[in-house]
Structure 1
């Protein structure tokens, strides 16, 4: 089993472990685990595409280079480009170097993965840093299901050319305009 699958399982476990009144700590950690499950799924896939099998440690170093903020920015640029293509408008496109390599509008499963990463990252920040917010089990289970669906969507779309550009862009897009 991989880390991302273990984290997804852990998210569900944490969301359901207290049968009557779930602890806020369990619910908050479940939201965080759901985000990190999707994060590590994409990071592992991106690193695998960018590194050869040998030396084995290279892939782990590449995984460490992925940055949450940069990944959010890439997701938002892809999502904005998708929405603009759907509306036949220009604002909010990915950078030109990226735009040349992708097809907009995005395939629905890829857009689903992108939107899930954006939503789960925001939820994780809320769960980790907004102590005023009270989480409930249904909301948390919805976040876990969002991550689970993103896994399914990624499996369906991961080998498409646009998905390949997306997962590599998560690490490198900010360097493509130089």
Structure 2
């Protein structure tokens, strides 16, 4: 289910990107389409990963009130912090000594984490930095990055996804001992 939702968001992002190429549209509408394309590409990834994390720990994740509440409790900052801690982000206080033993298997997620964080930063710029125009190159890069993260996430083993889900849902930073 979450895979389908993520792909639907990604298709919407691609559609917005295509609309921006319509020469009959006003330049401000094209800019809005490009901005929404970047934002929607990010949300495709966010909802896929958080939805999968909830589904991995909740029975009947689509209908359960507990699962719905858990899904709503996850936020962008939590996901970014857990992923950033996997790549040693100074911004999120990576401690000397590396990852804790519980997170060592998740080292293979470093490329996914870096791409996700870049995509989230692009989304924030597209949504809030109106003094910085979004061009077709930035929108295309966001779509490609979203596709990469989705592909990398789908290739992870069930065990690694479950371990990551536990860290995210408990808001445990992998570099905390």
Q: CA RMSD in A?
A: 2.7
Distance 2:140 2:151 in 1: 16
Deviations 1:55-90 (A, max 9, x none): 633322211110211211111111118xxxxxxxx7
Are 1:47 and 1:63, in contact at CA under 8 Å, matched by a contact in 2?
yes
User: What SS does the aligned partner of 1:102 have?
Assistant: helix
In structure 1, the residue matched to 2:143 is 144
Distance 1:125 1:18 in 2: 19
TM superposition outliers: structure 1 runs of 4+ over 6 Å: none
**Equivalences for 1:48-67 in 2 at 5 Å?**
48-53=55-60, 56-67=64-75
In structure 2, the residue matched to 1:127 is 126
Deviations 1:98-142 (A, max 9, x none): x222226722xx223211221111111101110011111122111
Distance 1:100 1:157 in 2: 19
In structure 1, the residue matched to 2:41 is 34
1:100 aligns with 2:101: yes
The TM-score, its normalising length taken from structure 2, stands at 0.80
User: What SS does the aligned partner of 2:107 have?
Assistant: coil
Deviations 1:36-60 (A, max 9, x none): 1100011111101121127633322
Distance 1:116 1:34 in 2: 12
Aligned length in residues: 163
Are 1:32 and 1:127, in contact at CA under 8 Å, matched by a contact in 2?
yes
Residue 53 of structure 2 is aligned with which of 35, 39, 46? 46
Unaligned runs of 5+ in 1: 82-89
Distance 2:42 2:137 in 1: 16
In structure 2, the residue matched to 1:91 is 96
Unaligned runs of 5+ in 2: 90-94
Residues 66 and 92 from structure 1, CA distance in 2 versus in 1: closer, same or farther, beyond 3 angstroms? farther
Residue 167 of structure 1 is aligned with which of 151, 165, 168? 165
1:78 aligns with 2:89: no
- Between 1:164-173 and 1:28-37, the stretch displaced more is 164-173
